[in-house]
């Protein structure tokens, strides 16, 4: 069977769905090819179920941090109820609702595994056979990412959890060992600890490396205070599972040994591009893709091949992938109408924010919310910065939770006198992030920011303290 369509989107995760939805809303036709569940990793095995596992523990702690409310919240988490709520947020791993949305939006959903076989040509294979599709205007790669498995002796012959198994777990193991102190490992270590596991978290360097040290320290202290055994600068040397109790035994490079009923390996992800037939269009997929600001894959003539989100090697975050998808969709629609839009910075045809204004929340408790450049990243780009920091010692924080502990930092471009980065750490700071995102994206001059008055008494009053600290 052979068919043609305006746009072929490979991968029906959040990025692929958004790319297809936006080109269709502007009059083009599109298929989304999905080999597993429409909605992608985020909906069923990543963002949604992981946050659903975390949230009950955070809500309980929030109540326990306020005298008067604390007395009313004395029990443990109800594991069955937490897992049942998680199941609902993962739509019980059934994508019927997503398919209904897509079809209602005019997107055609094609089940199967997609592979490029030449310019604008994609073959989709499923159990029933193969179909060839030709794209009149564009092919968008939105195939997401896959876990990186570290070369640890014995791991390949050991049964273990990846983030998929952890986020869809049906039981809480008595002991859980976690390899990888990145965002996924740290969030899930705390979630399972609060659900009752005795957790050991192994990080080969610091926890949450790349984020400001005072912010990370607050998270590490909280984990340790609630019983998570955090071991930084520690790597596993050998892993074995066995014995009567089917226990995992992890030998560490410092000579230590850890035993656990379950092992979670969360050591990063890489773009899922090696099985896309990229060689058919002259690409060596092993080196990964790079894209321009308009999402066009570098090195491909004719502006027909685009890539977004995790697959493009950009910041592996759902909101950023969806943003890139919106940009790419508008570029495709403009080109289909015969225009050649200039991907000028901050225009609707350039994913400028992906280069310098990526917001991210680490949903531990306390949370870390970060946007934009760190001082080191700014220095690499030749930006002269000054960092101002402040503890979250404001009335709003003290009212929010007894003994509230938090930290905030701004990275100021000294020449432009605008904020290029910001970090907030503390309980419930994630909702403070968008104010900083607007300040960074809007390049709001400090002198104008001085007039953005934070309401009293909110945690946002730390903005005022930071600007005073800067000298305003």
Ligand X SMILES: Cc1cc2nc3c(=O)[nH]c(=O)nc-3n(C[C@H](O)[C@H](O)[C@H](O)COP(=O)(O)OP(=O)(O)OC[C@H]3O[C@@H](n4cnc5c(N)ncnc54)[C@H](O)[C@@H]3O)c2cc1C
Chain residues binding ligand NAD by CB under 6 A are: 150, 179-185, 187, 203-205, 209, 235, 266-269, 316-317, 360-363
CB of 34 to ligand X, least distance (A): 5
Q: CB-wise, 281 or 291, nearer to ligand NAD?
A: 291
Confirm or deny that 239 is annotated as ligand binding: no
Q: CB-wise, 269 or 465, nearer to ligand X?
A: 269
Query: Could you say which of ligand NAD, ligand X, none residue 267 binds, taking C-beta under 5 to 8 angstroms by partner kind?
Result: ligand NAD
Q: Is 233 left (phi over 0), alpha (psi -120 to 50) or beta?
A: left
What is the torsion angle, in degrees rounded to the nearest 10, for the CA atoms of residue 331, residue 332, residue 336 and residue 342?
20
CB of 310 to ligand X, least distance (A): 4
Q: Select from 139, 140, 142, 422 the one that contacts ligand X (CB under 6 A).
A: 142
Binding to ligand X, residues 211-270 (CB under 6 A): none
Instruction: Find the radius of gyration of the CA atoms of the chain.
Output: 24
Question: Rule CB under 6 A: is residue 47 a binding residue for ligand X?
Answer: yes
Pairing between strand 247-252 and 257-260?
A: antiparallel
Q: CB-wise, 40 or 277, nearer to ligand NAD?
A: 40
Q: Select from 26, 29, 51, 131 the one that contacts ligand X (CB under 6 A).
A: 51
Q: Contact, 233 vs 204, CB < 8 A?
A: yes
Question: Rule CB under 6 A: is residue 16 a binding residue for ligand X?
Answer: yes
Cα separation, 214 vs 206, whole angstroms? 12
Place of tokens 């432009």: 416
Cα separation, 456 vs 261, whole angstroms? 48
CB of 12 to ligand NAD, least distance (A): 18
CB of 148 to ligand NAD, least distance (A): 7
Query: Could you say which of ligand NAD, ligand X, none residue 180 binds, taking C-beta under 5 to 8 angstroms by partner kind?
Result: ligand NAD
Confirm or deny that 186 is annotated as ligand binding: yes
Confirm or deny that 396 is annotated as ligand binding: no
Confirm or deny that 187 is annotated as ligand binding: yes
Q: Could you tell me which stretch among 95-103, 314-322, 420-428, 447-455 binds ligand X (CB under 6 A)?
A: 314-322
Residue whose Cβ sits closest to ligand NAD: 182
CB of 45 to ligand X, least distance (A): 7
Q: CB-wise, 360 or 374, nearer to ligand NAD?
A: 360
The encoded tokens of residue 287 equal: 């080196």
Q: Could you tell me which stretch among 7-15, 340-348, 368-376, 463-471 binds ligand X (CB under 6 A)?
A: 7-15
Question: Rule CB under 6 A: is residue 36 a binding residue for ligand X?
Answer: yes
Question: Rule CB under 6 A: is residue 15 a binding residue for ligand X?
Answer: yes
Cα separation, 167 vs 44, whole angstroms? 8
* DSSP letters for 104-160: HTTPEEEESEEEEEETTEEEEEETTEEEEEEEEEEEEE---EEEPPP--BTGGGS--
Query: Could you say which of ligand NAD, ligand X, none residue 179 binds, taking C-beta under 5 to 8 angstroms by partner kind?
Result: ligand NAD
* DSSP letters for 8-75: EEE--SHHHHHHHHHHHHTT--EEEEESS-TTHHHHHHSHHHHHHHHHHHHHHHHHHTSTTTGGG--S
Query: Could you say which of ligand X, ligand NAD, none residue 150 binds, taking C-beta under 5 to 8 angstroms by partner kind?
Result: ligand NAD
CB of 360 to ligand NAD, least distance (A): 5
The encoded tokens of residue 157 equal: 């012959």
Confirm or deny that 183 is annotated as ligand binding: yes
| Distance set, CA 196 to CA 62, 78, 179, 427 (Å) | 18, 10, 19, 21
Confirm or deny that 180 is annotated as ligand binding: yes
Question: Rule CB under 6 A: is residue 144 a binding residue for ligand X?
Answer: yes
Measure the CA angle with vertex 156, ends 150 and 161; round to 5°: 75
Query: What's 80-119 look like in SS3?
Result: HHHHHHHHHHCHHHCCHHHHHHHHHCCCEEEECEEEEEEC
Cα separation, 206 vs 415, whole angstroms? 32
Pairing between strand 305-307 and 129-141?
A: parallel
CB of 77 to ligand X, least distance (A): 20
Instruction: Tell me which residues touch ligand X (CB under 6 A).
Output: 10-16, 33-36, 40-42, 46-47, 50-51, 113-114, 142-145, 163, 167, 184, 272, 275-276, 309-311, 316-319, 321, 363
Binding site, annotated residues for NAD(+): 180-187, 268
Binding site, annotated residues for FAD: 51, 310
């Amino acid at each position: 069977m052979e068919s043609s369509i305006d746009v072929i989107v490979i991968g029906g995760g959040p990025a692929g769905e958004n790319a297809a939805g936006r080109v269709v809303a502007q009059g083009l036709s599109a298929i989304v090819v999905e080999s597993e569940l429409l909605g992608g990793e985020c909906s069923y095995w990543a963002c949604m179920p992981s946050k659903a596992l975390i949230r009950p523990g955070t809500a309980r702690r929030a109540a326990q941090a306020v005298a008067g409310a604390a007395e009313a919240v004395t029990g443990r988490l109800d594991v069955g109820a937490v897992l049942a709520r998680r199941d609902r947020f993962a739509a019980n791993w059934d994508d019927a609702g997503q398919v209904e949305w897509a079809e209602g939006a005019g997107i055609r959903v094609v089940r199967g595994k997609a592979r490029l076989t030449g310019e604008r040509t994609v073959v989709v294979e499923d159990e029933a056979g193969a179909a060839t599709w030709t794209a009149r205007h564009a092919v968008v790669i939105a195939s997401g990412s896959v876990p990186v498995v570290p070369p640890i002796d014995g791991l390949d012959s050991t049964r273990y959890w990846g983030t998929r198994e952890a986020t869809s777990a049906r039981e809480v193991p008595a002991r859980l060992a976690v390899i990888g102190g990145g965002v996924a490992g740290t969030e899930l270590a705390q979630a399972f600890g609060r659900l009752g596991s005795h957790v050991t978290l192994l990080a080969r360097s610091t926890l949450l490396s790349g984020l400001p040290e005072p912010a990370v320290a607050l998270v590490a202290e909280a984990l340790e205070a609630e019983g998570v055994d955090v071991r930084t600068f520690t790597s596993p040397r050998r892993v074995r599972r066995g014995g009567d109790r089917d226990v995992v035994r992890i030998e560490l490079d410092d000579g230590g040994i850890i035993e656990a009923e379950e092992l979670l390996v969360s050591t990063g992800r890489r773009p899922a591009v090696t099985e896309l037939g990229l060689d058919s269009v002259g690409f060596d997929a092993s080196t990964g893709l790079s894209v321009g600001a308009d999402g066009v894959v570098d090195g491909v003539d004719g502006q027909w091949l685009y890539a977004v989100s995790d697959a493009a090697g950009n910041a592996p975050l759902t909101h950023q992938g969806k943003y890139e998808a919106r940009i790419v969709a508008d570029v495709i629609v403009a080109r289909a109408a015969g225009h050649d839009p200039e991907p000028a910075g901050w225009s609707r045809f350039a994913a400028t924010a992906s280069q310098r204004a990526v917001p991210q929340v680490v949903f531990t408790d306390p949370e870390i919310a970060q946007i934009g450049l760190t001082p080191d990243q700014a220095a690499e780009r030749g930006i002269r910065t000054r960092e101002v920091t402040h503890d979250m010692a404001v009335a709003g924080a003290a009212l929010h939770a007894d003994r509230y502990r938090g930290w905030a930092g701004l990275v100021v471009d000294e020449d432009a006198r605008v904020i290029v980065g910001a970090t907030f750490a503390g309980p419930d700071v994630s909702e403070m992030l968008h104010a900083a995102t607007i300040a960074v994206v809007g390049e709001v001059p400090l002198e104008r920011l001085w007039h953005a008055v934070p309401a009293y008494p909110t945690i946002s009053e730390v903005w005022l303290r930071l600007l005073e600290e800067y000298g305003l």
